[in-house]
Chain A
Amino acid sequence: MSDHLIQRVASATPPRLARRIRGVSDRTIAWLFVTPTILLLLAVNIFPLIWTIRLSMTNFRTNRPNNPVEFVGLENYRKILSNPDTWASLQATAHFLISTIVLQVVLGFTLAYLINKKFRGNDLWTTLIVLPMMLSPAVVGNFWTFLYQPQIGLFNYFIEFLSGIDPASFSMIGDVSLAPWTIVLVDTWMWTPFVMLICLAGLRSIPPSIYEAAECDRASKWRQFWTITLPMALPFLMLAVLFRGIENFKMFDLVVQLTGGGPGATTQLTSIDLKREAFEKWRTGFASAYAVILFVTVFGLASIYVKALNKVKDR
């Protein structure tokens, strides 16, 4: 069939063109195919990166294009790394990252484990559980501000219902010690289903006959979980951590909508901090240096992590 097609194409090609095409080597054709992609990557990825590194060593400000641009060397980097505000926002980011990943992985895996059992209506449950992640982060942030509202919010009412604490006595968003947890809570509410889906894929990839063998080998359910389920689902779990980690390192929309980085700077994640430097204070050179530092951090962490992931997969 395909031979036939090739024949037809060959005979339909004009002889002069055919001669010219025949003269082109496989290597040349391969280059012809990849060149557009390489050019595109250079234009939208590599060039901006190099440009950012260049800008990071200047005092350039985008809102004052006529000011003379001075080369300042590593001065921007020194300022950023010695600024306690930077470290505070890095700390807030770390708190957010670690708490959300731990919570989402534990909850997501547990949900996946439960939903993977055969019971009536588990398809319906799966659909219901994944609903939050289909919403827009801006919408989620917006309606959670209502839920967290001390006087009329359902969240505070619910806490009162459970513990009897006066709902007007605390404000999740307004309190310095509670605010970092509000964003963790909402992100977990929204993205646990995603982790669950990945874990579910992992659990479903384990052939049932392995559990049957373990049954015959008299392994308890507990031992089956630790020697079969967890090790075999681990690569999927780690993948979920990677996805959530990358996503949450650049978390912006949800938090801006929810707390706007406040109160004070308690929920000012690095991405929000960076956006203020770059597009509110217009310190372009300074912000570029900041971006480079974050890029190196994420890139470094991700490479280490991917190495570990591959090791686990090869086991």
Chain B
Amino acid sequence: MAEVRLQNVSKSFGRQTALEDVSLRVPNGSFVVLLGPTGAGKTTLLRIVSGLDTPNEGDVFIAGRSMAGLPPAERNVAMVFQQYSLYPHLTVRENMEFPLKSPLLRTPKAEIARKVGEVAEILQISHKLDNKATALSGGEMQRVSIGRALVRSPNVYLMDEPLSSLDAKLRADLRVELKNIQANLGATFLYVTHDQIEAMTMATHVGVLDHGRLVQFGTPREIYEQPVSIYAAGRLGQPHINILPADLFGPAPSGAAYIGMRPEQILQGEGQDSLVKRVEHLGDQTRLHLAFRNHDLTTVIDAHTPLRAGDIVKIQPLKPFYFDAAGARIV
């Protein structure tokens, strides 16, 4: 296990800038989640850490050592690919044994078998060990791909949306398992996702990427409670943060163009009237879609609310965020 540090890393593909001057420190034993929409540069960042791509500028340090010019094999990183990348003609067991059979390691046979069995158990694929990799469902392939990484003890685990094609139940199970593994081993994880639940539940740190730039880095709570911009605020929170004209509820701080309110920043029962447009019962939460002076906003309410469409409810901002015209946070 080791610390990973990126220093002023830039990468472009032709005219397309994928990463721009990214500096990032992944502390030893931390679980860093990279958030951002498609094209934000998350995968490119992982590939640069792994050594599959080389940065145009800047350097990557693993355990304090510069990785410039080193191929993936010499960086001791384990990577889980979004497209699984299993060895198709091998069985599940052979796929998972593959990294351990590297002549560099000389792992004893019994040790390999024990390790593979253990990881297969965690990933709930023990019964598939002798199947061909091509005879699996998408979710199973993804788990084999995670397993192939977990059997190793690398400097850092790099995972590119590893849970994206699993069903909800399995995803919830594996979130817990991955977090346990990371905590027990003290392993360093660099993890790409756009699932905010994964980010909130597993991450010790979250990095928000926007068009190749790291716009905020901190604990999940910091990102959630103190976002630096509308963009960063929008990465976390279900329902999504409400962004409205700054002076909609009354006087705003000078320079503010937008007011941002998460559901808990909307106080109900006081203030001004708004119209209930729709009540959504989602089971674990109930969402209230409101219309306020020709603007739509969404908040949450007690599951057993008597409110119905057409009712009037009073609302008022509670410690809201203010952003300037460019989207940067000012209060």
Contacts and interface: CB of A to CB of B under 8 A. Distances in A.
Contacts of B81: 209, 212-213
Given A213-B79, A216-B52, A219-B102, A231 B89 contact: yes
Scoring A209, A215, A218 by chain B CB atoms within 10 A of each residue's CB, the highest score goes to A218
A213 B71 CA distance: 12
Contacts of A215: 51-52, 71-73
B33 to A, nearest CB: 20
A193 B203 CA distance: 54
A49 interface: no
B103 A220 contact: yes
A207 B83 CA distance: 10
Q: How large is the interface on A (under 10, 10 to 19, 20 to 34, 35 or more residues)?
A: 10 to 19
Interface residues of B, number: 26
B148 interface: yes
Interface in B50-88: 50-52, 71-73, 76-79, 81, 83, 85-88
Given A209-B83, A315-B132, A216 B88 contact: no
| Chain A binding surface, main DSSP class | helix
B72 A216 contact: yes
Given A209-B83, A212-B52, A212-B81, A217 B89 contact: no
B87 A216 contact: no
A80 interface: no
Nearest to B82: A209
B45 to A, nearest CB: 15
30 contacts: A207-B83, A209-B81, A209-B83, A210-B86, A212-B72, A212-B79, A213-B79, A215-B51, A215-B71, A215-B73, A216-B50, A216-B52, A216-B77, A216-B78, A216-B79, A217-B78, A217-B98, A217-B99, A217-B148, A218-B104, A218-B105, A219-B98, A219-B102, A220-B73, A223-B102, A223-B103, A227-B87, A227-B90, A228-B87, A315-B132
Interface of B: 50-52, 71-73, 76-79, 81, 83, 85-90, 98-99, 102-105, 132, 148
Q: Which 4 A-B pairs have the closest CB atoms?
A: A217-B99, A213-B85, A218-B73, A209-B85
Interface of A: 207, 209-210, 212-220, 223, 227-228, 231-232, 315
Given A209-B83, A213-B81, A214-B98, 14 more contacts: A209-B81, A209-B85, A210-B87, A212-B52, A213-B85, A213-B86, A216-B72, A216-B79, A216-B99, A218-B73, A218-B76, A219-B73, A220-B73, A223-B102
